Structure 1
Amino acid sequence: MKNQSFNIRLKKTLLFLLIIASFQSFAQVKNAIEYKTFFAKQDLVFDSLSTKWEEGAFLGNGLLGVMVYKEDENAIRFDLGRTDVVDHREGINPSIGRARMPIGKFVLRFKSKIQKVNLRLDLWNAELKGTITTAEGVVQFTGLVAAKNDVIILKTNATTKNLIYQWDWKPEKSISPYLTLGKDSAAKYPENPSYNVSTQNNINYTIQPLLAGGSYTTAWKKLGNTNDQTLLITIANTYPQNTSKQKAQAILTPLKLESVTTLTASHRNYWHQFYQKSFISIPDSRLQSFWWIQQYKMASATRVGAYTIDLMGPWYKTSPWPKYWWNLNIQLTYYPFFSSNHVDLAKPLLIMLKDNLSNLSKNAPQPYQHNSAAIGRSGPYAMTGGVKVVKGNDSIGNSAASLELGNLTWLLHVAYQSYEYTMDKENLKLLYPILKRSINYYINVMDKQSDGKYHLPYTYSPEYPKGITRDANYDLAVLKWGAKTLLYMNKELQLKDQLASKWQDIVDNLTPYPQDKLGFRVGRDADFSLSHRHYSHLLQVYPIYDINWDQLENRVLIKRSLDQWEKNSGAWRGYSYTGSGSIYAMMGNGNKTHQLLNEMMKGRFSIKPNTMYTEAGPVIETPLSAVTTMNEMLLQSWNGVVRVFPAVPDEWKAASFDKLLAKGAFEVSAVRSNGKTQFVKIKSLAGQPLLVKTDWTAPVKATGKRVFKVTPKDNGVITIDLKKGEEVILYTGTKPASFVMNAIAANDNKNNYWGLHTQK
């Protein structure tokens, strides 16, 4: 009897476990991605090298950077950079006094002409490796910038005995590139002191003291023998103390040959974890590789505890723009971090804003400094840069650069996404006082006029040739967004701010966005009739979505405005294509978005072979902004709705993505094949209400560890009762036997598009 009772209990237990196991199996997506094989197809391949920076291979760890390209027919150069190596002089043009500074280069020189180069930037391991061939033989090369240590590792191994080559270090003069290019007379400014060279305990030092205090030091040592050498390099920077040599010494002294193995293992582990935070695979091999190279670029250009990315990142190049630009560049640089699920890499941006609130306040005119904040067109990391907009007509006569009132609020729109994509209220607390001051500036200068509407004085809409105007759409868009966001913050943080009624009044009574028969104007006094590379007059459409495609009554206006911008494309640059592409993606027109991205890749101002982008100098935001546009083809989240595959071009019959991030803190994964979405997996990181829109017309079903309630709403939107930490898989029709995430075969079957390839 006891045995029978035991057997019954055992059967019930096994049945229960079987039921639980079956629920779990259906609630999971099998990851069948072979990352190493997949990444090998995305690598940049260099079977030749030119003497151009924009055609070189780049390495970085978020602070230090190396650009590798040809010095001459006998040598390869390794340009060094460090993001925070800047001058520190106050009271002069920041392009001179607070500019990025050159460091120098290592040159790998051979006795005879280089006959052949075969290098591969191995993305999966974030290493440059391959061979260099001369008449005397072959040198094997490996290079990396350690992810968790500020050490550059360059290894050479000669496969032929007595092959003659040498490493030469060539430091550069500490002078702003703005002066090097002759933008101003160097003779007007006292020079920085000369660098000092020394050797101590087998470590070589080049110490560059600065006139304003502080210093930066490049230190290096060789390990190994003549045929098998390892070069270890670091760059240390200190201010106001002149202690950079001591910092460099502390980094290099303990390192030995066996340290390289440990550093490399840690480095690879970091990158493998980084890449697996999100994933995309699309049938366009050029764009797919481009996306992955930009992910590599993002983590190579910044990291937690480092610095906000400027126009060149850690890859120094002589440029007329050796500082930060606040009227588009930094904004476009940071948008892709959020949807790509690398929100942590935006922390340096938040810290920069928090640490410089005092300077932001001083940027406003003196009568407004007590409660306002602003940032002008460009300036140093310290965010100094005055704005001169005042009430009434007294702004006229000031430079256009000093009338860009909307820059700080737009930058805060970017930073606010660190909250929207995580729902972390600590980010709200950090941003609230800055946004409040930014909107206070508007309150100080605007008027409610006889029409009962608030109007703005003369400001400047960035980069439009005749953009000084009242009621600039640039400002109206960010002002309205800022007022709405402050109301939300006030409620979420339970602050009961006395200005809440004023913010609501602005939302209710701000003058409408100026428009005419051509679409949105630049402002009340400026129509849109000249070519405009910037989309400052369209921020209310994108990326703010105050005017959007869900509003049927605004569709004609949006399309008319977009047509007018496209017809006047003479001044367009790379980011004009990504911006217009993103608007088409909002409209659901993936074919046009795809077309615009392809035009940008190979157009007049094209993406370079190494995926960098230059005009008069490097401008990192353009290729990164293309990542935002690509993400929006696969996943969008605006107007409270998560939109899956909203703008996939017709030729992409298949596509997949894993753990892209949506606003509301949702990790979203999805697979498309045969022109239709097969399944969607969503994980809630914060327990926010979930509304989803897909291409399905049949009823949507859900599976997971419990029974989920799926409620249809209007326009194909459904709502799901997903709680924090839960995952749900959505599908339609018959439930598949399994849900598998895999890479998609390319339509063109071409790999390794990027890099520099020998012309055939």
Structure 2
Amino acid sequence: MHGQNVDFKVDYESFLSKHDMLWDLVPDKWQTAPYSGNGNVGFLLYQSPEEKDNVISLHIGRHDYYDHREAETKADEMLWIKRSRLPLGHFKLKSKGKITGVDMRLDLWNAELTGTIKTSKGSYKIKGLTHSANDIIYFETDTKDETVEITWHAEAPIPPVYEVLKSGGGPKGGTWDKMRAVTLEMAPQPTFSKKNGYNFCYQPLYDNRGETTTGYKIIGNPSGKQQLIASVHHSFPEHNSLEIVTNNLETAEVLIKDTNFISTHQKWWHEYYPLSFVTINDAEKESFYWIQMYKLGSASRGNGPILDLMGPWYNRTFWPMVWGDLNVQLIYWTHLTANRMSIGESLPNNIDKYAKNLEDNVPKHWKNSAAVAALMPQDLIAYNGSKVPDMLAWILNDYWLHLQFSGDDSRMRDKLFPILKKTVNSYLNYIKENPVDAEDGKIHIKYSWSPEYKPGRGQDINFTLALIRWSFQTLIDIDNQHHINDPLKKEWQHVLDNLVDFQIDKNGLMVGKDRPFANPHRHYSHLLAFYPLMVITPEKEEDKKLLRTSLDHWLDVTFNSGKKIKAMPVTGYTATGASSMYANLGDAEKAYYYLDFLIKHKNISSTTMYSEGKINPVIESPLSFATSLHDMMLQSWGGKIRVFPASPKKWKDVAFHDLRTQGAFLVSAKKIDGNTEFVSVKSLKGNACIVQVDFENPQFYINGKSISVNKSADGSYNINLKKDESVIITSKSLKQTDLSIIELPKSEAEQNLFGYGKKTKRLPGHDYYSSY
């Protein structure tokens, strides 16, 4: 095909079927279970160790099911035990015979689980999904020489950390001992009722602060075909969960009766997947990537809660909420380049919604200021005291990135600017209240924290300096762009001009003043100025050298020092952070090495889930794999689009369609046998784009006509594009360019590489979580 535009022809159904997850082993924990969700409710199907051998359960979760206990004072919020995610319950599927095996498939394209559960007496077919547009879980069983009884079992809403502390576990000292000494009054027992053929389980929370109703109906015959429809709603401060659940069940019954239930569910997914496309001659990486797209679509919705560490899939965890010192930030990078913008709206939307709570997280005398603690419930009530507002500043970098990628200038001015200004006011208040008398006359930051590093507390911490530089500069940039002329602008500039420099030694960026980077550390907090903030970029040779030295040193100490530390020294996000940073330095092979390292990390399960300490879900690590892969193919920091900036030699053939960049451009590109065939850039807003390609003497075409473009001193090209106009960049004439994008072929052995069964035994995570 030699037309004038990219010829995109991919059959997503056929393409994604090669990445469906398969099970031929019985899943017995959440890490090996099939998962389904719609951003708020969802289920996992697995046989718990404590269950009888003829029972397998649908474990139901609801993403926004949090406790709402009141704190006596702001300093006494005890979020870990008073404001955490709560367990919900499960449906038991009980057969006559013992379960002897399974043959199941998670169909990504239709977001549906199908298959057969085999027993010593017979078997039963299953089909399950979480409706994409209604909070309904649907599950059907169809028996052969079997009977399947379905029963609901509510779980008590006990905060998981409270259970651990009361049993003598968990850290000792300080806050932990305070929480251990508290006796929480428990919520009342649930009450059960029936109405109009529906069964209801009503669970009020302690002191009537919040309530959850689970409603369900089972239609059919346990010895034949039966259907379960279930809905869950959590409400606070309203008391309307019963009405909403009833309404959801009635809606589902109408859709089923009109045979629209499945088609209305599929519609969302069939519009979601084609938003962008990626294919690589590396089946395992391609597969892992697309499963993350399924997982993200199952775990997040723009109008839903902030994606915490679990999404809709609850597990008793020591980290039962939103973590703001890295986890939430990583989650909200994935949707950007993938051009799946709407599912990433939940972060900016909730920041806008709860902006007042952010202002209440600082001392009363700090006027017009905002902050948030390192961990937080969904409503962002998490007192930060009179400390630096680092966690909120970093979360706002995600908000800013979202607007950069969507090209939403008015929201930048009207929503982000005010909350970022309040965050910066917290920095100004901190600096004023904590002066440091220094001979150099610079502004120093007396005391802050480099997350998770030990010893990471002290003066002039690079993590904090990076966030101050980014937030103050961003305010000035927005002010300049929109001619706001804010009265505080001079003060912001004064801080930038006089702030102490980053702390650096022969090994690059230090942790802070008199704090060299010397201990293994999974977190890259001291490197934040590089990634993701790009306050120091690799554009200048001396900066690139500094960043390379810092990155190499971080990984060398973390992997090779032999020092023992309590926390896992190398986690999933250690690998993806390293991969993205090497990609930003243009080192494709190292970027690939760490991308591969993630899949081989034992804590990545065969279903691409991830946990630490074996039980604590941390959803962001596998999701950030997609971010690293994006960074290898396409980068757009600093106002420049870089195509294939770090594409490894192994990926000889690779193509992507409609990946998104900052400035709201959609980019498509393709390599054939290691050489870039073409790059296409479309402007969604109509403005100039600066592009860097990885081949010599590019030719430029708009609407099939050749145009001349001058090369800048840095090797990039500046092209003016009208709204919805595209430029095609190729190394030869347009007629000779292959503008087609199709899926790359996969052999039988390269298909369906994840799930839980024979094929997943190659993965270290299979053994790590396996009971077989």
1:311 aligns with 2:300: no
In the alignment, is the contact (CA less than 8 A) between 1:375 and 1:386 conserved in 2? yes
In the alignment, is the contact (CA less than 8 A) between 1:103 and 1:172 conserved in 2? yes
Q: Which residue of 1 aligns with 2:724?
A: 725
Q: Which residue of 2 aligns with 1:83?
A: 63
- Report how far residue 31 of structure 1 moved: 1.4
Find the aligned partners of 1:315 and 1:288 in 2 and give their Cα distance: 24
1:219 aligns with 2:215: yes
Closer/same/farther in 2, CA of residues 525 and 372 from structure 1, 3 Å limit? farther
Secondary structure of the residue aligned to 2:558 is coil
1:349-374 per-residue CA deviation (whole Å, 9 max, x = no partner) reads: 11221222222222223432x13211
1:597-633 per-residue CA deviation (whole Å, 9 max, x = no partner) reads: 22222225x3111111101310111111111111101
Closer/same/farther in 2, CA of residues 32 and 120 from structure 1, 3 Å limit? same
Which of 138, 151, 156 aligns to 1:168? It is 151
Q: Which residue of 2 aligns with 1:258?
A: 256
Give structure 2 stretches of 5+ with no counterpart: 72-76, 171-178, 560-568, 762-772
Q: Which residue of 1 aligns with 2:424?
A: 439
Q: Which amino acid counterpart does residue 76 of structure 1 have in structure 2?
A: I
1:525 aligns with 2:514: yes
Find the aligned partners of 1:78 and 1:268 in 2 and give their Cα distance: 21
Closer/same/farther in 2, CA of residues 638 and 275 from structure 1, 3 Å limit? same
1:450-472 per-residue CA deviation (whole Å, 9 max, x = no partner) reads: 43432211111111111112111
Secondary structure of the residue aligned to 1:599 is helix
1:679 aligns with 2:678: yes
Q: Which residue of 2 aligns with 1:196?
A: 191
* Superposition map of 1:611-630 within 5 A: 611-616=608-613, 617-630=616-629
Find the aligned partners of 1:523 and 1:559 in 2 and give their Cα distance: 18
Find the aligned partners of 1:80 and 1:516 in 2 and give their Cα distance: 51
Q: Which residue of 1 aligns with 2:450?
A: 461
Find the aligned partners of 1:692 and 1:748 in 2 and give their Cα distance: 38
Which of 38, 57, 81 aligns to 1:61? It is 38
- Report how far residue 674 of structure 1 moved: 1.0
1:366-423 per-residue CA deviation (whole Å, 9 max, x = no partner) reads: 432x13211111121121223344xxxxxxxxxxxxx563111111001111210122
- Report how far residue 125 of structure 1 moved: 0.4
In the alignment, is the contact (CA less than 8 A) between 1:26 and 1:703 conserved in 2? no
* Superposition map of 1:703-714 within 5 A: 703-704=702-703, 708-714=707-713
Find the aligned partners of 2:708 and 2:321 in 1 and give their Cα distance: 52
Q: Which residue of 2 aligns with 1:41?
A: 18
1:407-445 per-residue CA deviation (whole Å, 9 max, x = no partner) reads: 111110011112101221232111111100111222223
Secondary structure of the residue aligned to 1:153 is strand
Moved more, 407-416 or 566-575: 566-575
Q: Which residue of 1 aligns with 2:203?
A: 208
Q: Which amino acid counterpart does residue 14 of structure 2 have in structure 1?
A: T
Find the aligned partners of 1:325 and 1:704 in 2 and give their Cα distance: 47
Secondary structure of the residue aligned to 1:568 is helix
Find the aligned partners of 2:182 and 2:530 in 1 and give their Cα distance: 48
Find the aligned partners of 1:669 and 1:136 in 2 and give their Cα distance: 54
Secondary structure of the residue aligned to 2:750 is coil
Find the aligned partners of 1:426 and 1:276 in 2 and give their Cα distance: 28
Q: Which residue of 2 aligns with 1:156?
A: 141
Q: Which amino acid counterpart does residue 89 of structure 1 have in structure 2?
A: R
1:658-691 per-residue CA deviation (whole Å, 9 max, x = no partner) reads: 1111011001111111101101111101123201
Find the aligned partners of 1:424 and 1:758 in 2 and give their Cα distance: 47
Q: Which residue of 2 aligns with 1:322?
A: 320
Q: Which amino acid counterpart does residue 146 of structure 2 have in structure 1?
A: L
- Report how far residue 727 of structure 1 moved: 1.4
Q: Which amino acid counterpart does residue 80 of structure 1 have in structure 2?
A: I
Q: Normalising by the residue count of structure 2, what TM-score does the alignment of the two structures yield?
A: 0.90
Which of 416, 420, 426 aligns to 2:410? It is 426
- Report how far residue 506 of structure 1 moved: 2.8
* Superposition map of 1:633-644 within 5 A: 633-644=632-643
* Superposition map of 1:465-504 within 5 A: 465-504=454-493
Moved more, 546-555 or 666-675: 546-555
Q: Which amino acid counterpart does residue 147 of structure 1 have in structure 2?
A: S
1:361 aligns with 2:359: yes
Find the aligned partners of 2:154 and 2:180 in 1 and give their Cα distance: 22
1:547 aligns with 2:567: no
Q: Normalising by the residue count of structure 1, what TM-score does the alignment of the two structures yield?
A: 0.91
Q: Which amino acid counterpart does residue 166 of structure 1 have in structure 2?
A: E
Secondary structure of the residue aligned to 1:455 is coil
1:407 aligns with 2:403: no
Closer/same/farther in 2, CA of residues 702 and 206 from structure 1, 3 Å limit? same
Secondary structure of the residue aligned to 1:276 is helix
Secondary structure of the residue aligned to 2:597 is helix
Closer/same/farther in 2, CA of residues 424 and 385 from structure 1, 3 Å limit? same
- Report how far residue 50 of structure 1 moved: 2.8
In the alignment, is the contact (CA less than 8 A) between 1:30 and 1:739 conserved in 2? yes
Closer/same/farther in 2, CA of residues 592 and 112 from structure 1, 3 Å limit? same
Moved more, 135-144 or 621-630: 135-144
Find the aligned partners of 1:242 and 1:120 in 2 and give their Cα distance: 39
Give structure 1 stretches of 5+ with no counterpart: 1-21, 390-402
Find the aligned partners of 2:258 and 2:100 in 1 and give their Cα distance: 30
Q: Which residue of 2 aligns with 1:417?
A: 401
Find the aligned partners of 2:182 and 2:491 in 1 and give their Cα distance: 52
Find the aligned partners of 1:259 and 1:46 in 2 and give their Cα distance: 31
Find the aligned partners of 1:276 and 1:85 in 2 and give their Cα distance: 31
Find the aligned partners of 2:27 and 2:320 in 1 and give their Cα distance: 24
Find the aligned partners of 1:102 and 1:697 in 2 and give their Cα distance: 58
Q: Which residue of 2 aligns with 1:18?
A: none
Find the aligned partners of 2:372 and 2:4 in 1 and give their Cα distance: 48
Find the aligned partners of 1:195 and 1:499 in 2 and give their Cα distance: 54
Find the aligned partners of 1:442 and 1:742 in 2 and give their Cα distance: 50
Q: How many matched pairs? A: 720
Q: Which residue of 2 aligns with 1:8?
A: none
Which of 280, 286, 289 aligns to 2:278? It is 280
Find the aligned partners of 2:505 and 2:618 in 1 and give their Cα distance: 33
Q: Which amino acid counterpart does residue 137 of structure 2 have in structure 1?
A: I
Highest CA radius of gyration, 1 or 2?
A: 1
Moved more, 661-670 or 445-454: 445-454
Q: Which residue of 2 aligns with 1:3?
A: none
Q: Which residue of 1 aligns with 2:562?
A: none
Closer/same/farther in 2, CA of residues 257 and 700 from structure 1, 3 Å limit? closer
Secondary structure of the residue aligned to 2:139 is strand
Moved more, 176-185 or 351-360: 176-185
1:644-664 per-residue CA deviation (whole Å, 9 max, x = no partner) reads: 111111111010111111011
Secondary structure of the residue aligned to 1:556 is helix
- Report how far residue 69 of structure 1 moved: 1.3
Secondary structure of the residue aligned to 1:668 is strand
Closer/same/farther in 2, CA of residues 95 and 324 from structure 1, 3 Å limit? same
In the alignment, is the contact (CA less than 8 A) between 1:282 and 1:746 conserved in 2? no
Secondary structure of the residue aligned to 2:345 is helix
Find the aligned partners of 1:631 and 1:311 in 2 and give their Cα distance: 22
Secondary structure of the residue aligned to 1:491 is helix
In the alignment, is the contact (CA less than 8 A) between 2:124 and 2:141 conserved in 1? yes
1:609 aligns with 2:606: yes
Find the aligned partners of 1:351 and 1:754 in 2 and give their Cα distance: 34
Secondary structure of the residue aligned to 1:421 is helix
Find the aligned partners of 2:32 and 2:682 in 1 and give their Cα distance: 40
Root-mean-square deviation (CA, aligned residues, Å) is 2.0
Q: Which residue of 2 aligns with 1:392?
A: none
In the alignment, is the contact (CA less than 8 A) between 1:301 and 1:313 conserved in 2? yes
Q: Which residue of 2 aligns with 1:26?
A: 3
